[in-house]
Amino acid sequence: MTNLNLQSRPRILLIDDETELRTLMGMVLSDEGYEISHASNGNEAIRLHRENPFNLIIAELVMKDKNGFETLSELRRQAAPTRFIATANSSWLPPELVLQMARQLGAHSALSKPFQHEEMLAAVRNALK
């Protein structure tokens, strides 16, 4: 586990409607010393971010209720600056299109599902530089 000062632990919000994936991602990131919160949809994510802004948000682009496109657009308009990583299922969208759409939304990077833990950790480290 990475030794981060508890007062400076980056806070990450995971937004995904797949509970198992969100939980697994949270465990991996938590083991690296990050403080993790979860949201199963965009409305919940926006509420959580308004209550206590996050350093980084990892958001699925294609979800029920309020999807990642709408959520990231709304979160970008909020006062607290936040970095974003977008995720999307590669069977639904080609990886190149995911990255292009994510960048248009202001995302720092994009991950096509399925992705490896190390790929996610590298994207998180890079986004939090």
Nearest to 108 by CA among 80, 79, 81, 78: 81
For domain 9-127, give the fold: Rossmann fold (3.40.50)
| pLDDT the model gives residue 79 | 59
pTM here?
0.85
What's the full length of the chain, in residues?
Answer: 129
> pLDDT digit string (tens) for 72-105?
888 877 756 689 999 887 666 676 777 787 778 7
Burial class (CB in 10 A: 0-12, 13-18, 19+), 88: buried
Cβ-based neighbour number of residue 17 at 10 Å: 17
Nearest to 11 by CA among 90, 82, 100, 75: 82
For CA atoms 78, 93, 62, 35, give the dihedral sign. Answer: negative
| pLDDT the model gives residue 80 | 63
List the domain boundaries for the chain. 9-127
Q: Which residues, given as ranges, of the chain have pLDDT below 50? A: 1-6
Q: How far apart are CA 43 and CA 70, in angstroms?
A: 10
